[in-house]
Chains A and B, each alone.
Chain A
């Protein structure tokens, strides 16, 4: 148990260090959600409703967490292939999920930078003043959201294991998650058949928890739901990992060469 926790911690730190090495990538990770936030702020400003501007500011901030996760986690296995380390990691005595999980959590943790800069952008450029009514709950909601988004990234990473172009699939999920999880648009505005999909996605509950914390609502059920779904993603991801690795070993196709 201790060894596994140590592995998770050390691998997370190592991946965070690797992911923050490139200043170009770091800049893009921060700038990308700001572009969309800026457009959204202009649109909501034109709508003339100050409350919707606060709604958009919080949503745009969380968008960055998914941006940081979607492509990086989706293409995690392909990146290890390019590095030539995938076979070594799979052959290691530790379960492969324990190696991949901290990688996915590291990608979503990078999203904290995006979140902070988007909130500051909204505050200083658009004058959106957000008062967090329940900072303690917010301190719970943000890590819960990051963990659950990381768990979704982990599930994507193992699900896309057989695709050479996993980065493109990861990138493809960026807009749908922004839309379906209600980051900028209330879920009630989406067609009825989309709403059950929203509820099955942990970022929806993470977003709700952050908004409830900011506005003085009751975020605890949302935080619990967010963590529960994150846990389910991890459990499914572990099963998928074993299935994918078994198939890859049987057909000798791990390297996809």
Chain B
């Protein structure tokens, strides 16, 4: 029992530190601290110009949605990065259980993404004078946790694809752009065409963003329990699919002798 736990916690954080070693303050600050604040400001001002939703709508929507950057990029790199460092074959030849091996790397990703969402929410809220009651913050923290977990499940799928595809950065950027449109971060879901709403309801972050907005408006966690449960179920489903994709790609790589080739 202790071995899988060691692989999950210690292995996960060691792998994260080793593979995301390039995330220096010179990258972290511009891309994960300053950029999300400007994304929020951009959409707040577009919203004002278009005369549609309130500032709070865009602040919460974009703060939670921007967490997808660490969820997608870091999760993908925390696994697919083994290939570029020429260590993938050593990892996959080891007898370590795959579930703790892969999922352990998700934990630091979730913590990082939570920080990004919470920090950008706090700072842009202060800049724009958004009044979120202090009593709502624990609830928002839980919503952010579930949302980032859910999105990290999507990142796990990207990581699986990244075992065979070189251009994971392009893939992650495209998914980030799609999440921007489909999650309701900036456009209320009911204003999207029907086919888009159907997609929105089946992807990470949509329900989390809605729950965060309601909690910020004073709703209790009980009031948004349905949204949170849906977000969590979506997260579990994506994580399971991500794990299956990783296993499939591993087996295919062995079968085709293409582990380090792609």
Q: Which of A's residues lie within 8 Å of B, judged by CB? A: 24-25, 27-28, 31-32, 34-36, 38-40, 42-44, 46-47, 49, 52, 163-165, 168-169, 171-172, 174-176, 178-179, 184-186, 189-190
Contact = CB atoms under 8 A, between A and B. Distances in A.
Interface residues of B, number: 33
B174 A46 contact: no
Contacts, number: 99
Contact of A40 (B26, B31, B46): B46
Nearest to A178: B42
B41 interface: yes
Nearest to B177: A35
B181 A39 contact: yes
B72 to A, nearest CB: 14
A46 B191 contact: yes
Given A25-B170, A52-B50, A184-B42, A31 B187 contact: no
B96 interface: no
Nearest to A174: B35
Contacts of B188: 46
B51 A47 contact: yes
Nearest to B173: A28
Nearest to B187: A42
Nearest to A186: B49
Contact of B38 (A35, A49, A176): A176
A165 B46 contact: no
A43 B166 CA distance: 35
B176 to A, nearest CB: 8
A43 B47 contact: yes
Contacts of A164: 26
Nearest to A25: B170
A102 B46 CA distance: 34
Given A35-B181, A175-B42, A178-B42, 4 more contacts: A38-B181, A43-B46, A172-B38, A179-B42
Nearest to A179: B42
**10 A-B pairs with least C-beta separation:** A35-B177, A172-B30, A175-B38, A47-B50, A24-B167, A165-B26, A42-B187, A185-B45, A168-B30, A24-B170
A189 B51 contact: no
Contact of B31 (A32, A172, A178, A179): A172
A125 B24 CA distance: 41
B186 interface: yes
B50 A31 contact: no
Contacts of B181: 35, 38-39, 42
B34 interface: yes
Contacts of B167: 24
Contacts of A175: 35, 38-39, 41-42
A39 B31 contact: no
Interface string B164-199: 000100100110011011000011100110000000
A24 B42 CA distance: 27
A77 B163 CA distance: 30
A185 B26 contact: no
Contact of B49 (A34, A165, A185): A185
B93 interface: no
